[in-house]
Amino acid sequence: MKNLRVSSSPHLTARTNTTRIMLDVLIALSPAVIAMVLLYGFYPLFLTVLSVASAVFCEWVFNVITKREQTVRDLSAVVTGVILALNLPPVVPFYVPIVGAAFAIIIVKMLFGGIGRNFANPAITARIFLMLAWTGVMTKFVLPVDLSDGANLFAYFKQGVEINLPDAITTATPLQSVKEALSSGGNPAEGLNALDMFLGRIGGSAGEVSTLAVLIGGIYLAVRRVIDIKIPVLYIGSTALFTAIFFADTGYVGEYVWTYLLGGGLMFGAFFMATDYATSPKTPVAVVIYGLGLGFLTVIIRKFGTMNEGVSFAILLMNIVTPLLEKIKRKPFGTPRKSVKEVAESVKAKFSRKHAAAEEGGESVG
Amino acid sequence: MKKSAMPQELRMNMRGKSKIVGGGILASNPVFRLVLGMCPTLAISTSAFNGLGMGIAATVVLVCSNALVSLLRKVIPDKVRIPAYVLIIATFVTLVEMLLRKFVPALYDALGIYLPLIVVNCIILARAEAFASTNKVGDSVLDGLGMGLGFTLALLLLGVIREFLGSGTFFVGSFGEAEFGVTLGNLPDYAMSVFVMPAGGFLTLGLVMAAINAISDKTAAKRDAKHAEEGKVIDEMVREHVEAELASAGADAPSADAVRVGDGKEEEK
């Protein structure tokens, strides 16, 4: 009799918990972290450590000060820290990830009630905050190091403290050259190599450049069923679709599509940031609108905006409308299907009623 | 009873007047409590000097318009009171605008469209409608002064924070020929420009408002606890008194009654 438990539903429980899910996300992020070290040396790893330390410390201190239950052990702050660091350019001053992680944890997450109650993805909001705060720092990207000389792994430590990077080591990101091609009307893929972009041998944010590493992690998450695979698939697919539509008249549709898919943080955003549980919708209709909206906004911002990258703003905006999308109701199972005639009649009745009310009611408020 | 030479009535009066001024600054601060005048607050508090200038301009208009609205409160017909208020306010705004343009052109440029927009500033309109139109001239002037000071202090606070974080300077501005302000080393290189953008305005306002709410919640909780403590002591005294009365009234009075009386008193509270 001791083994009998009396409780209310749900009666079927799985052994997954927050810590396990966050551990899965960390495992999925590890290929991107390894790719980051292979591409840019140890300096971005140092930034990642700082970011994680700042995130965990802020959450711990906040919980201590406000006398809430300690939530550091669920590893969500660690995930936020890692994702934020992977979103930063490889070489930024050391205080940038510290301030960013503190912003993500304290302002976006803890002030709104902690894990599961944040209105937007903390890492992406912090990235946008940093982008607006230190625009010069956040838009300077460096070239990958040459790994044939092992000492290069420790490159960039000297430059890391400077607020202005020397021009010699900075480079344009693929999306910057695409943007220039867009304004000049040239071929966007000029000087870009699809294999380099797939592997990450380009300038860009530390953890986002290697599409391969991100895809490995994303597929791991999808197989483990940690994320809803529909969201990244819809996001990437709709980005391709809307790129094809918006650039149909340029004559380089194919080039625009593959540079947009491989460039910037699209893959990383789709797999790791758009799928945040607290800020992505769950119902099927809402998920479809969410994915299409993400792709639409990304392409709109990339084509018409002043920035080269639109993923972070697209995700933030769709995060904000997620509660509204969740309100879209499905018809209950078994609702009789109305014929076209009936629908037309009900609409007609509605309009005629309104009309009548407007005619007779002198003081009715429209 | 010779605590003060002032008669009791005047003392109470003084307390009432200071309450009118103090209420505008703290208890019903137009920015942090009433959340009025958000448009100039967010747009102008990018630097401490701009905030102070805007605050003073609004205060002058607020005091003058409150006084005039109060004077004319029995003359203005009820149905056209809002246009009448706007006309009065616009008169003073035009005055302030001309004065600023002549004497502090830098501030005039910085305030831009928000200076003429004081006409439709909801703090001024709200005080005209809610206070000046039903109160005496003296009280209305004091209310305008309190509200204006509250608005100025709020803008100054936000301006100092945003200027320091967003530009790395402290109180930079110019008055006529004189230029003042502190630039702290090469801090401007490291400044977070987001704080002088609209996003930073919302962020700073939200955080300061949250901090003020947290502090006032805490003091309110403390006050409630103190009152509850005092209430308990009074209840205890009442109960003892009732018990003593009952005991003296009749030795055979059942003690249960006394307890019930005490309970009743507590429930009433």
| Chain B residues interacting with chain A (CB cutoff of 8 angstroms) | 189-190, 192-195, 197, 199-200, 203, 207, 210
Q: B210: helix, coil or strand?
A: helix
| φ, ψ at B174 (rounded to 5°) | -145, 140
CB contact under 8 A, A133 and B203: no
The partner residue sitting opposite B197, judged by closest CB among A99, A132, A134, is A132
Residue in chain B closest to A138 (alpha carbons) equals B192
Q: For residue B1, what pLDDT is reported?
A: 45
Q: Which one of B167, B189, B194 would you mutate to disrupt binding with A, by most A Cβ within 10 Å of its Cβ?
A: B194
Residue with the bigger pLDDT between B207 and A171: it is B207
* B251 Cα distance to chain centroid: 59
User: How do residues A62-81 score in pLDDT, each as one tens digit?
Assistant: 999 988 888 888 899 999 99
Residue with the bigger pLDDT between A318 and A2: it is A318
* A201 vs A203: CA distance, rounded Å: 7
CB contact under 8 A, A132 and B193: yes
Q: Find out whether the peptide bond into A10 is cis, omega within 30 degrees of 0.
A: yes
Q: For residue B254, what pLDDT is reported?
A: 53
User: How do residues B73-119 score in pLDDT, each as one tens digit?
Assistant: 999 998 999 999 999 999 999 999 999 898 888 888 888 888 888 88
The partner residue sitting opposite B189, judged by closest CB among A133, A135, A163, is A163
Q: Min CA distance, B45 vs chain A (Å)?
A: 17
Q: Which one of A62, A129, A131 would you mutate to disrupt binding with B, by most B Cβ within 10 Å of its Cβ?
A: A129
- Which pLDDT band holds residue B62 (cuts at 50, 70, 90)? very high
Ranges of H-type helices in B72-186: 81-103, 105-111, 122-127, 137-167
User: How do residues A166-207 score in pLDDT, each as one tens digit?
Assistant: 666 777 788 888 888 888 887 887 778 888 888 888 888 888
CB B73 within 8 A of CB B133: yes
**Greatest C-alpha distance within chain A:** 87
The partner residue sitting opposite A132, judged by closest CB among B190, B199, B210, is B199
The partner residue sitting opposite A129, judged by closest CB among B189, B194, B207, is B194
Residue in chain A closest to B214 (alpha carbons) equals A66
**DSSP conformation class of B74:** T
Q: Min CA distance, B130 vs chain A (Å)?
A: 27
Residue B179 to residues A288, B49, B98, B183, Cα–Cα distance (Å): 58, 11, 22, 12
Between strands B178-183 and A141-142, the pairing is unpaired
Q: B253: helix, coil or strand?
A: coil
Nearest CA among A175, A205, A210, A172 for reference residue A86: A205
* A121 vs A109: CA distance, rounded Å: 8
CB B89 within 8 A of CB B72: no
Average pLDDT over residues B202-207: 93
What's the token pair of residue B3?
A: 């605590």
Average pLDDT over all residues of chain A: 86
* A105 vs A79: CA distance, rounded Å: 11
Q: For residue B111, what pLDDT is reported?
A: 85
Q: Interhelix angle for A122-133 vs A95-102, to 10°?
A: 130
Residues 6+ apart with CB under 8 A from B208: B32, B157, B158, B161
| Nearest-5° Cα angle at A30, A195 to A315 | 75
CB contact under 8 A, B193 and A129: no
